[in-house]
Structure formats: structure tokens, C-alpha cells
Amino acid sequence: MIELYTSPTPNGWKASITLEELEIPYEVTPIRLDKLDQKAEWFLKLNPNGRIPVIVDHDDGDFAVFESGAIMVYLAEKAGRLLPSDERGRSLVMQWLMFQMGGIGPMQGQANVFFRYAPEKIQYAIDRYQNETRRLYEVLDTRLSDHEWLAGDYSIADIANWSWVSIHGWAGVETDDLAHLSRWKDAIKERPAVQRGRAVPEAPEPTEENAAGIAEQGKKILI
Ligand SMILES: N[C@@H](CCC(=O)N[C@@H](CS)C(=O)NCC(=O)O)C(=O)O
């Protein structure tokens, strides 16, 4: 049994969608980021970085894994799916996974901070992070113009990038004119496992109507 410590955020969905796609049984322990559960002493023993997601593999001596990309690789290797074992196939998936981990995640995350949560409106920072996120989306769009999926067959690289792109509106970044990205985004959204994983843990989808309440909660993390 895998235990998943998570919250309704893109990095959390990467883990829950992967578990759903791989049909690995798991239990969810929801973490209240606004209450700073993730900074509690017991949680820091699982992840010294104080962030979600984390998994604990109770079938393997309670082995804990943090960092969403590392969790995805761990689970894919355990199940023998969504990450090829041949050198080139594996490298391609890792390239597009790292593209998300080092690019889209940090840049879109900062776009969220300056567009939604920052106490003062700093236009330079908003533009910088929204433009960089959009540039990274264009890189995905170009890749998807002649590839059905990012790296060979559907893989953890698609799940990782999709989990962030799926919430582009929260960062204030448009994708409607990116035809290839939209085709890929819609195809992944249709997958039942993705729909199940995206609903873990249950939470309202951010919209402009509930934005103020969600932003208030988000601000509590920025200590
Ligand atoms: N590189 C980490 C980032 C994890 C991360 O930033 N998680 C956010 C939610 S998406 C979090 O736990 N934030 C709470 C905090 O910063 O205290 C990963 O990919 O797992």
C-alpha cells in the first residue's frame, strides 16, 4: 500500500494521476497547506523540504519519497509502465520530465505568486513569469506539432506537464491559440485515470468567482 500526502495542486496531481494510471492501490492523507501542515515536525521527517507531494511505500519498509518527479519515476519503475527501460526511450521521457520540473513548474509557480498572491502588484515580475511560462508552453506546442505525446508513448512526462498546463488560467496565461498543445491537453483530460487523479484530494476548481478565497489561502504559505 502506498500512502500519498498531498493537496489539490499541480505537483500533488502529478502523483495522484500517476498512481491512478498505474492502478497502484493508495491511501490519501490530505495536507492543509494553509495551516502549514507541511512544516510540522512529523512531516519534515518525510520531506525535509516541507512541501507536498510525498509518498510512503508501506510495502517497502515505509520508504518515503519526496519531489514529484522522483515520485513519478519511482512509481513508474515499480509498475514497469509509463517510463520505457531502453536507454533512449527513458532519456526522452526524463528530458521532458525535467523540462517540467526545472521550467514550467518554477516559472508558472512564480507567475501564480505575482499574479495572484503577492501583497503588491509588481508588473515587471508578473510579465516576466507569465511570458516565460507562455514561452515554455510554445516549446511544448512545437514539440506536439509532430508528436502525439511528448516522449514516445504516453508517459509520466505527459502527466507532469499536463498537470501544470491544466491550470494555466490561474497563472493568467492563455493557451487557446496553441492548437497542438490544446489537442494534447484535451486528449489527456479525457482519460478516466487523469480525471480521478485530478480530483485528489477533492477541492473546488479555481475560477475568477472563487479566486479571492483561494488566493487568501495561498498567501498563508508565503512565509
Ligand atoms: N519541486 C517540488 C515542489 C513541491 C511544491 O512546491 N509543492 C507545493 C505545492 S504545489 C507546496 O507544498 N507548497 C507549500 C509550501 O511552499 O509551503 C516537487 O516537484 O515536488
* pLDDT attached to residue 215: 84
Q: Which of 82, 48, 83, 39 is nearest to 221 (CA)?
A: 39
> What's the gap in Å between 145 CA and the centre of ligand 1?
31
> What's the gap in Å between 11 CA and the centre of ligand 1?
7
Report CA torsion sign: 107, 156, 6, 214: positive
pLDDT averaged over consecutive 10-residue blocks of the chain (223 residues)? 97 98 98 96 98 98 98 98 98 98 98 96 98 98 98 98 97 98 98 98 85 82 72
The span from the CA of 166 to the CA of 189, in Å, is: 8
> What's the gap in Å between 99 CA and the centre of ligand 1?
17
Residue 87: CB atoms within 10 A of its CB come to 8
Helix (H) or strand (E) holding 106, with range, is helix 105-112
- Which residue ranges have their beta carbon within 6 Å of ligand 1? 9-11, 33, 38, 50-52, 67-69, 105, 221
> What's the gap in Å between 96 CA and the centre of ligand 1?
19
* pLDDT attached to residue 210: 86
Q: Which atom of ligand 1 is nearest to the CA of 7?
A: 9
* pLDDT attached to residue 223: 61
Query: Which residue CA neighbors atom 11 of ligand 1 most closely?
Result: 51
Query: Which residue CA neighbors atom 12 of ligand 1 most closely?
Result: 51
The span from the CA of 212 to the CA of 180, in Å, is: 32
What's the grid cell of residue 3? 500512502
> What's the gap in Å between 49 CA and the centre of ligand 1?
8
Phi, psi at 3, each rounded to 5°: -105, 130
* pLDDT attached to residue 178: 98
* pLDDT attached to residue 152: 98
